[in-house]
């Protein structure tokens, strides 16, 4: 795959993340709140941390693949 293809994939993923984040932020369910959210704070933080580690690790792996191929 050429450089334009990689940039296109990254742009599409970033655009998708932006749109879904905005949709969650303006959703009715989000505005009403979730009383269980505060009770499960450690579980939520742990899950988000794992997602971030996977995303950052994957990003570094793709960057290394791009740089060395």
Q: How confident is the model at residue 38 (pLDDT cuts 50, 70, 90)?
A: low
Show me where the domains of the chain are located: 1-33, 34-69
pLDDT value of residue 51: 93
Q: Is the pTM of this model over 0.95?
A: no
Sequential DSSP letters for the chain: --HHHHHHHHHHHHHHHHHHHHHHHH-HHHHH--HHHHHTHHHHHHHHHHHHHHHHHHHHHHHHHHHH-
């Amino acid at each position: 795959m050429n450089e334009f293809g990689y940039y296109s994939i990254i742009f599409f993923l970033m655009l998708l993340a932006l749109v879904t984040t905005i949709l969650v932020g303006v959703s009715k369910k989000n505005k009403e709140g979730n009383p269980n959210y505060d009770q499960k704070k450690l579980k939520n933080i742990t899950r988000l941390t794992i997602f971030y580690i996977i995303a950052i690790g994957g990003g570094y792996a793709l960057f290394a693949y791009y740089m060395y191929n």
